[in-house]
């Protein structure tokens, strides 16, 4: 009787934990969508979901095998069908000759904002779509030599941050947004003040009061680790400017750090932000996710998360999100927050299933070089997270893609109206239809995951 009571307690406890965390998926992966079936590699991915019409989803990727251009893919029926095209493939395109580093953000008015880099001179540009992603118009051009711009929206503003050469100075600019297709002039680029103002590979978020936060890593090269910083402009488009950056954490993952699954392009700490503007129990909480690893265990990289309730002045201790029991790699996390609920979810590239012993997680008999997409979510402000669940139906390989770019520097996710949408580069051909076949070039995949 005592044993039966203990077992019942364990079962009830597990059921309660899953209910609290909002376990999004159990058992088999969700339905995967191949959003674009192009010849060649698609990497460094972006996604956005229209909050005014959640069945309207847009994905983008860089085309690393060609000189310029982006793959753009649009659905108006929740992934049932996708319309695909290539933009920015030449200097004659009104958007310019697009290199890479595209990111997307959809505001509450239905405006879809995009930032990207030009191939010809490294300019940071902003484009706007008011027709669900079917077309874009260039609306800002910052003449600069820069890297990895990121874009974020608030209730009435849009912001872009980037790393400016020479010196890798972090800068940002923004504009008021007042309605569909209605926005003010973009501000002049604003410097993050020293010390700690130099870095790259960052992200941007806008808080509930219009405040703006940047995150970035300071060390950009080598394997010796890096410091992760945040900087806040407390009044956004007001006169205050950015505060002195805060050193949040140290990662043992530096910049251009090779792992077996990303041997050519390598990985970095890739910090990313999500700010709760939902008006719920954790309104104003901002989340920071990044990559680290134990000292002297270079390939055993992990995804960790922290949060702040005081605009980044102080941060919680890092919590490890990946719950595997391997020494394999997790990297390139993407975080998204549902502004209708305050729920948060994180996805990442994960090699936990590749032990080099065959099976569905191993394509070549070599451990730790094949990847899947895994994820987790929290419905209680990050106090508890769901057991990790596999998102990608197949197993992919950057080695098999045979591209200097691998899967690129980052990936992204969106979370709108109770559904989490990660996006990733995939050459498993699990859906069928990849024109390059199986385990050759990457197509751009996504999945719609309900978070209860």
The 10s digit of each residue's pLDDT in 369-411 is 999 999 999 999 999 999 999 999 999 999 999 999 999 999 9
Please give the model's pTM, rounded to 2 decimal places.
0.94
The Cα 202–Cα 396 span in angstroms is 26
Which residues face 177 on adjacent strands? 183
Tokens of 440: 């050759």
Least confident of 23-32, 218-227, 282-291: 23-32
Phi and psi at residue 398, in whole multiples of 5°? -70, -30
In terms of average pLDDT, the best of 212-221, 250-259, 278-287 is 278-287
The answer to whether the beta carbons of residues 290 and 270 sit under 8 Å apart is yes
DSSP H or E stretch at residue 398: helix 398-401
Confidence of residue 17 (pLDDT cuts 50, 70, 90): very low
How far is Cα 39 from Cα 403, in angstroms, rounded to an integer?
13
**pLDDT band (50, 70, 90) for residue 173:** very high
d(CA 439, CA 416): 32
Which segment of 9-23, 152-166, 316-330 scores lowest on mean pLDDT? 9-23
Contact 39, 441 (CB under 8 A): yes
Q: Give me the architecture of the 2-450 domain, per CATH.
A: 6 Propeller (2.120)
Token pair of 237, please?
Answer: 């488009």
Task: Return the closest-CA partner of residue 46 out of 412, 408, 401.
Answer: 412
How do residues 100-121 score in pLDDT, each as one tens digit? 999 999 999 999 999 999 998 8
DSSP character string of 168-228: TEEEEEEEEEEETTEE-PPPPPEEPPSSS-B-EEEEEEE-TTS-EEEEEES--SSSS-EEE
List all residues 6 or more positions away from 131 whose beta carbon is below 8 Å from its beta carbon.
none
pLDDT recorded at residue 2: 35
Enter the tokens of residue 203. Answer: 């992200």
- 292 alpha-carbon distance from chain centroid: 16
Mean pLDDT of 181-187: 98
Could you tell me the CA-to-CA distances from 58 to 3, 68, 75 in Å, in that order? 52, 20, 7
Lookup: tokens for 316: 């919680």
């Amino acid at each position: 009787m005592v044993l039966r009571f203990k077992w019942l307690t364990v079962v009830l406890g597990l059921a309660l934990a899953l209910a609290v965390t909002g376990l999004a998926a159990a058992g088999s992966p969700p339905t995967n969508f191949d959003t674009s079936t192009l010849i060649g590699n698609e990497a460094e991915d972006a996604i956005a979901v229209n909050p005014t019409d959640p069945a309207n989803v847009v994905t983008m990727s860089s085309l690393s095998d060609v000189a310029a251009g982006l793959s753009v893919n649009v659905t108006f029926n929740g992934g049932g069908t996708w319309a695909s095209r290539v933009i920015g493939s030449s200097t004659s395109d009104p958007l310019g000759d697009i290199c890479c580093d595209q990111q997307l953000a959809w505001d509450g008015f239905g405006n879809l904002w995009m930032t990207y880099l030009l191939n010809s001179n490294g300019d940071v540009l902003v484009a706007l779509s008011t027709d669900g992603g079917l077309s874009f118009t260039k609306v800002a051009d910052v003449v600069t030599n820069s890297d990895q711009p990121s874009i974020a929206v608030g209730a009435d503003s849009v912001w872009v941050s980037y790393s400016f050469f020479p010196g890798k100075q972090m800068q940002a600019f923004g504009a008021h947004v007042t309605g569909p297709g209605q926005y003010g002039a973009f501000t002049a680029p604003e410097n993050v003040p020293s010390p700690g103002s130099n870095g790259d590979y960052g992200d941007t978020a806008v808080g509930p009061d219009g405040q703006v936060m940047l995150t970035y890593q300071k060390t950009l090269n080598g394997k010796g680790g890096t410091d992760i910083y945040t900087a806040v402009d407390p009044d956004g488009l007001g006169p205050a400017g950015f505060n002195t950056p805060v050193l949040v954490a140290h990662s043992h993952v530096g910049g251009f750090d090779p792992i077996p699954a990303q041997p050519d392009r390598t990985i970095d700490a890739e910090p990313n932000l999500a700010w709760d503007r939902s008006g719920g129990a954790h309104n104003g909480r901002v989340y920071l996710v990044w990559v680290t690893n134990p000292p002297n265990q270079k390939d055993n990289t992990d995804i960790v998360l922290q949060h702040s309730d005081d605009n980044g002045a102080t941060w919680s201790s890092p919590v490890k999100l990946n719950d595997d029991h391997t020494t394999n790699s997790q990297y390139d996390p993407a975080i998204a927050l549902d502004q209708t609920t305050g729920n948060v979810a994180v996805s990442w590239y994960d090699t936990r299933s590749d032990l080099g012993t065959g099976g569905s997680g191993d394509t070549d008999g070599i451990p730790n070089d094949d990847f899947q997409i895994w994820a987790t979510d929290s419905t209680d402000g990050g106090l508890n997270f769901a057991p990790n669940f596999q998102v990608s139906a197949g197993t992919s390989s950057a080695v098999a893609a045979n591209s200097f770019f691998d899967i690129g520097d980052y990936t992204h996710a969106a979370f709108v109206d109770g559904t989490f949408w990660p996006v990733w580069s995939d050459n498993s051909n699990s859906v069928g239809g990849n024109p390059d076949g199986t385990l050759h070039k990457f197509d751009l995949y996504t999945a719609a995951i309900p978070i209860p």
